Amino acid sequence: MAGDTGMAGKVALLLWAQTLGLAGAQTTQLLVEPPWRPALLWDRVTLTCQGLGTAGDTTWYKDRRRWGQEGQDHLSVTESGIYTCYRPGTGRSPSVTVSEDDLVLQVPVRALLEGDTVTLRCRGWQNTKVTSVSFYREETELERLRDGPELSLSPLQQNHSGRYSCRGQVGYWGWKESVPVTVTVHELFTEPVLVLQGPPEPTEGSPLTLSCLSTPSPLRPRAPLLHVFYRDGQVVGGPQGSPQLLVPALGLSHSGDYGCEVRSEGGAVRKSSARLRVTVHTPVANATITPSPPSHQVRAGDPVTLRCSVQVGSAPVTFTWLHNGWEVAQGPLLELRDTDVGHSGTYQCVATNQLGKDGHRVFRALSPELALEVTPGSPWVTAVAVNVGRTLLFLLLLLAVIGGCHWWHHRALRKSQDRTPR
């Protein structure tokens, strides 16, 4: 493994560099090959400095003093010590320790996250065989007198974080103990939170959407996660990649305590949300009629539009119109374009909706009655009738005067003829 400089090692180095730097910050990184810490001098260690600028801008330091040739971004290590590098645009890098102790506990340099498998290896000077190895965490013995020099931790949990060391017999030099090495296990994703999207008091027949919100680690943002939804402890959705649970139409049986769980792809890491109480209510619908124009008394020939609506309920709602108790139309609007006296009477609308997938439950809302009165004739017709009546009366009076004059003249003529001698 000391001479492995393949693609897998380079990927591990890159991950380690991302771990050392803050998310989104530009910092100088110091990569080590082989990808173990602390590095061992006899493994032919190579250090690579990465940062803003060119290779000629690189300055190397060993034990806080300038070291090696200037202007090279690669350094082949020939002495043990603590190394750093500097780039003018991004500053100084974190340090890398190169050891040549008699016994060293090594940890991979890559980022360690929950659910991973990591191997700690206890190595003797110049690869001298180590026997009767014991491993410790925070000075507490984990395994004692192992024949092999490696300890595997799987799956990793956050409580695995701590300071590790090993003790063993190194060849003919006797019992040795390593310097402690810090192991940090990062969170793979945050603890989920279950959120109800929509009205806080859902009603029968309405849709329900629950979202299981969890943020993946920036060290592994594309880690595949599975989501499982529960109601009263029973699985109602998943495992699924989508963080949402959709119920198209609620019924009273959907009430209960909901929760969700987020799992890593292999299921090694599982985190559950707090419970969320969901209560499904029976809708109470009140149907109302809005007339246009607002007056309930209109003249014959005027257009009238009645609109029906429900205050509470869920689509699709069916509207039926009643005139004096008889069904006359359907739909939310009733348009009477050319009204006459026959349109007078009481109007009501009935709003109905099927609840649930089976449609067995139906809510029915009946609006209050609206009395509509249609008076005969319009103002224009009345005005014409009055004018025609006045004209006819005037003509009759004129004819009477003419007739009277004619009669009086005819009578006077006859009297004159009677007085004249024959």
- pLDDT band per the 50, 70, 90 thresholds, residue 420: low
Q: For residue 293, is pLDDT > 90?
A: no
Q: Is the pLDDT higher at 67 or at 179?
A: 179
Choose the weakest-confidence range: 171-185, 293-307, 380-394. Answer: 380-394
Q: Is the pLDDT higher at 31 or at 340?
A: 31
CB 54 within 8 A of CB 90: no
Averaged over 359-377, what is the pLDDT?
74
Q: For residue 60, is pLDDT > 70?
A: yes
- pLDDT band per the 50, 70, 90 thresholds, residue 42: very high
Token pair belonging to 365: 């809302």
- pLDDT band per the 50, 70, 90 thresholds, residue 421: low
Question: What is the CATH number assigned to the segment(s) 7-186?
Answer: 2.60.40.10
pLDDT computed for residue 354 by the predictor: 65
Listed by start position, the domains of the chain span 7-186, 194-278, 287-375
Token pair belonging to 55: 């290779």
Q: Average pLDDT of the chain? A: 82
Q: CB burial class (10 A; 0-12, 13-18, 19+) of residue 99? A: buried
Give the Cβ contact number of residue 5 at 10 Å: 14
Helix (H, G, I), strand (E, B) or coil at 159: helix
Averaged over 334-360, what is the pLDDT?
76
Q: Is the pLDDT higher at 379 or at 33?
A: 33
* Measured distance CA(280)–CA(18) in Å, rounded: 48
Q: For residue 10, is pLDDT > 90?
A: no
Query: Across the strands, what pairs with 137?
Result: 140, 164
Averaged over 347-371, what is the pLDDT?
71
Stated as kind and residue range, the H or E segment containing 9 is: helix 7-20
* Measured distance CA(248)–CA(331) in Å, rounded: 24
pLDDT computed for residue 396 by the predictor: 72
Give the Cβ contact number of residue 308 at 10 Å: 23
Closest CA to 289 of 311, 263, 268, 308: 308
Q: For residue 388, is pLDDT > 60?
A: no
Closest CA to 368 of 314, 305, 290, 297: 290
Closest CA to 60 of 26, 93, 20, 21: 93
Token pair belonging to 304: 């009238």
**Per-residue pLDDT tens over the stretch 209-267:** 999 999 999 999 998 999 999 999 999 998 999 999 999 988 888 999 999 999 998 88
Helix (H, G, I), strand (E, B) or coil at 327: strand
Helix (H, G, I), strand (E, B) or coil at 164: strand
Cα–Cα distances in angstroms (integers) from residue 306 to residues 202, 295, 303, in the given order: 30, 11, 10
Choose the weakest-confidence range: 33-42, 44-53, 348-357, 407-416. Answer: 407-416
pLDDT computed for residue 250 by the predictor: 84
Choose the weakest-confidence range: 65-74, 209-218, 289-298, 386-395. Answer: 386-395
Torsion angle, alpha carbons of 72, 75, 76, 80, to 10: 150
Q: For residue 91, is pLDDT > 70?
A: yes
- pLDDT band per the 50, 70, 90 thresholds, residue 3: very low
Length of the chain: 422
Token pair belonging to 27: 């910092």
Closest CA to 287 of 311, 306, 322, 318: 311
Question: What is the CATH number assigned to the segment(s) 287-375?
Answer: 2.60.40.10
* Measured distance CA(123)–CA(104) in Å, rounded: 5
Averaged over 304-315, what is the pLDDT?
72
Q: Is the pLDDT higher at 288 or at 113?
A: 113
Averaged over 195-216, what is the pLDDT?
88
If you search the block for the tokens 């969320």, which residue do you land on? Answer: 276
Helix (H, G, I), strand (E, B) or coil at 35: coil
Question: Topology of 194-278 in CATH?
Answer: Immunoglobulin-like (2.60.40)
Closest CA to 153 of 183, 181, 176, 129: 183
* Measured distance CA(163)–CA(179) in Å, rounded: 10
Strongest mean pLDDT among 18-32, 34-48, 374-388? 34-48
Domains 194-278 and 287-375 share a fold: yes
Side chain identity at residue 381, one-letter code: V
Conformational region of residue 411, where left means phi above 0, alpha means psi within -120 to 50, and beta covers everything else? alpha
Torsion angle, alpha carbons of 402, 407, 410, 415, to 10: -140
